[in-house]
Amino acid sequence: MKFGKIDHIDEMKFSLPPDHKDMELMWTAQKNGPEELRVFLGGTMWTIPKWVGKIYPKGTKAAHFVNAYGKQFGTIELNATHYRTPSAETVRNWSSATPDDFIFSPKFPQGISHYRRFNNCEALTDDFLMAVEGFGKKRSHSFIQLPPNYKSDKHEALINYLEKLPVDLKCAVEFRHQSWFTGDTPSKETWDFLRSRGIATVVTDTAGRRDALHMNLTTPILIMRFGGYFPHASDQVRMQQWMDRLKEWKARGLKEVHLWMHQPESIFTPESVIEWAKSFEASLQVSPKRPVITDSLFD
């Protein structure tokens, strides 16, 4: 994750901000009490040759990476769909290559979010939605990543676009520009709309943009993109801070956690996911799927 990445991590003092006041509106609206928490951990791509012999069987060919990935992780932030909408056949092949307990979170195409900016993109949207139907029950939240320069004063185009999406589509939005976190009228109207429609917000935990760590869930589901620096000790500090917060949220009715690990070049994503899985077990008594390392690159 280049967004918010810094070079001098030793100078950072990490802490989680308090919950946004509007999260109370979300908790209050929950009709059901606390349920068993479901946790899905994964990375951002399966095309990592250095994982062969580490978490992929030795000799695994690129064509079988998706199958090997699915056996090791519970989810993926599917960035491939952001750059090109795959064919329905390709999506079905990806789905059939993964276990029944695996889920995909396909990112909306950049042609919609970055280039047309939610205007005149009906055909692109139809193509994307028809393609991702091929994931079937393995399709989780499709998420919209707003451009870094997409300001809250453009909220009407975003809301108009979201209103036209199928009401049963699991969807999430990642905000990036600082204006979305100021509480101005356009941003508040947008967050209120997301809450009313049951559209989730992506929390981005990255060192150089702490405002994107907004702590304002609009549904009882945490979807987080974590920009780590494994094996730097700061990853462990941040992870424990999250465990403390998630204990509180679980007691309030948090239902799911979707955590996508962004580590440099994805090399240490398996080790990082294992550490998070151990923490979930120790702190929240949840045992998410994790990789099994046969030959770690981390000594």
What is the set of domains in the chain, with CATH numbers? 35-284 (3.20.20.410)
- Mean pLDDT confidence for 279-291: 97
136-155 pLDDT, tens digit each: 999 999 999 999 999 999 99
- Report the share of the chain in percent with pLDDT over 70: 97
Provide the pLDDT confidence category of residue 188 given band limits of 50, 70 and 90: very high
Q: How much is the pTM? A: 0.95
Measured CA to CA, the distance from residue 123 to residue 156 in angstroms comes to: 20
Residue 4 CA, distance from chain mean position: 16
pLDDT at 297: 44
Average pLDDT over residues 29-49: 88
* pLDDT per position as a tens digit, 108-137: 999 999 999 999 999 999 999 999 999 999
Tell me the pLDDT of the chain averaged across its residues: 94
The pLDDT score that the predictor gives to residue 34 is: 59
CA gap 151, 129 in Å, rounded:
26
Q: Is the dihedral of CA 270, 272, 273, 279 positive or negative?
A: positive
Please confirm whether the linkage preceding 86 is cis (ω < 30° from 0). no
Q: Give the start-end residues of each E strand in the chain.
A: 38-43, 75-78, 103-106, 142-145, 171-174, 200-205, 221-227, 256-262
pLDDT at 158 over 80: yes
pLDDT grade for 295, boundaries at 50, 70 and 90: low
